[in-house]
């Protein structure tokens, strides 16, 4: 399987996880607010301090983002581009967000694809402090209780990354058992989730959110992304028994690579290793 040498030593625990409770709901992001504050308010209105969300058509402006890029030093295996700030209103096609905390304040990690006002199609990593909601749009969310994504230094990748940690209950109404996950580098995305579910006795699960990166990509439709650094959003995902009876992860994603190439589709199981991180929530269905 493809792998990328990271600057730090790998830790033994390849999936960081916290068991929690959660609930699905939808809400509308308010226009005129920073995207971070609009998302925070949506979760807070349902009693949650954080969680994950996905969206399709939306409108952003002002808007700032970065794309994946090669690292200019040995301090990171890959890095970020310069900041892009397209004028006018950018129309999103899809996106996935993790809402947590960094340095004691709300923060998000959000990847997506979009079309800028001049018609340019692009994608990447949205910047919380440079992105506002231009027009109201609806998102599908999953709030988590008893856990929180918190950005902490990660010696393996030499980035400050979101990972799940236990958190005091906010008392929000919940309906489902959930696991809040972060997959570490150089493990197959599908295989890691399948192994985790087997270990936890989970027979069926639904993925909510999903923000991270893979080492290129191999798709079930035959498409291949060779450039190794990507920014990826999960658009749909389940883990359930396949035709053989064994657990199989079905992972539909969209991504952009460091050359600007974009792709969407279902990932091939067993051939899509994580580059830096993969954050998502598993809702236990059985």
CATH number for the domain harbouring residue 94: 3.30.1330.80
In a domain, 133, yes or no: yes
In a domain, 154, yes or no: no
Q: Does residue 182 share a domain with residue 134?
A: no
Q: Does residue 139 share a domain with residue 233?
A: no
DSSP state of 128: G
C-alpha span between 234 and 142 (Å, rounded): 14
Q: Does residue 190 share a domain with residue 121?
A: no
In a domain, 160, yes or no: no
Looking at the structure of the chain, the number of domains it has is: 2
Q: Does residue 138 share a domain with residue 33?
A: yes
Q: Does residue 136 share a domain with residue 185?
A: no
pLDDT in tens, the chain (286 residues): 899 999 999 999 999 999 999 999 999 999 999 999 999 999 999 999 999 999 999 999 999 999 999 999 999 999 999 999 999 999 999 999 999 999 999 999 999 999 999 999 999 999 999 999 999 999 999 999 999 999 999 999 999 999 999 999 999 999 999 999 999 999 999 999 999 999 999 999 999 999 999 999 999 999 999 999 999 999 999 999 999 999 999 999 999 999 999 999 999 999 999 999 999 999 999 9
Q: Does residue 196 share a domain with residue 122?
A: no
Q: Does residue 218 share a domain with residue 122?
A: no
Q: What is the pLDDT of residue 199?
A: 98
Q: Does residue 30 share a domain with residue 134?
A: yes
In a domain, 159, yes or no: no
In a domain, 114, yes or no: yes
In a domain, 189, yes or no: yes
| Paired residues of 178 in beta bridges | 20, 283
Residue 17 CB partners (closer than 8 Å, separation 6+): 164, 179, 180, 181, 182, 196
C-alpha span between 96 and 226 (Å, rounded): 23
Handedness of CA 197, 186, 215, 139 (dihedral sign): positive
In a domain, 7, yes or no: no
Q: What is the pLDDT of residue 234?
A: 98
In a domain, 88, yes or no: yes
Which residue range forms the structural domain that includes residue 214? 16-20+175-284
Q: Does residue 129 share a domain with residue 189?
A: no
C-alpha span between 185 and 171 (Å, rounded): 34
C-alpha span between 158 and 34 (Å, rounded): 28
Q: What is the pLDDT of residue 12?
A: 95
């Amino acid at each position: 399987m493809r792998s990328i040498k990271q600057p730090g030593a790998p830790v033994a625990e390849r999936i960081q996880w916290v068991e929690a409770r959660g609930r699905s709901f939808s809400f509308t992001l308010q226009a005129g607010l920073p995207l971070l504050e609009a998302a925070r308010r949506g979760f807070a209105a349902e009693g949650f301090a954080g969680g994950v969300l996905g969206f399709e058509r939306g409108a952003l402006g002002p808007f700032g983002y970065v794309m994946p890029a090669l690292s200019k030093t040995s301090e990171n295996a890959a890095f970020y581009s310069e900041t892009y700030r397209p004028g006018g209103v950018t129309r999103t096609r899809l996106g996935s967000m993790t809402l947590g905390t960094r340095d004691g304040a709300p923060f998000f990690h959000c990847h997506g694809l979009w079309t800028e006002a001049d018609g340019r199609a692009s994608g990447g990593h949205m910047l919380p402090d440079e992105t506002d909601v231009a027009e109201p749009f609806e998102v599908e969310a999953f709030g988590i209780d008893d856990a929180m994504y918190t950005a902490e230094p990660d010696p393996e990748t030499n980035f400050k990354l979101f990972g799940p940690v236990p958190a005091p209950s906010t008392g929000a109404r919940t309906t489902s058992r959930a696991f809040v996950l972060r997959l570490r580098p150089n493990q197959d995305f599908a295989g890691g989730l399948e192994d985790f579910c087997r270990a936890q006795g989970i027979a069926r699960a639904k993925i909510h959110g999903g923000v991270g990166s893979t080492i290129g990509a191999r798709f079930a439709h035959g498409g291949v992304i060779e450039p190794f650094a990507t920014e990826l959003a999960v658009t749909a995902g389940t883990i359930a028994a396949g035709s053989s009876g064994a657990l199989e992860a079905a992972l539909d994603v969209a991504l952009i690579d460091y050359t600007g190439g974009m792709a969407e589709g279902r990932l091939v199981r067993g051939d899509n290793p994580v580059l830096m991180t993969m954050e998502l929530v598993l809702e236990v269905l059985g």
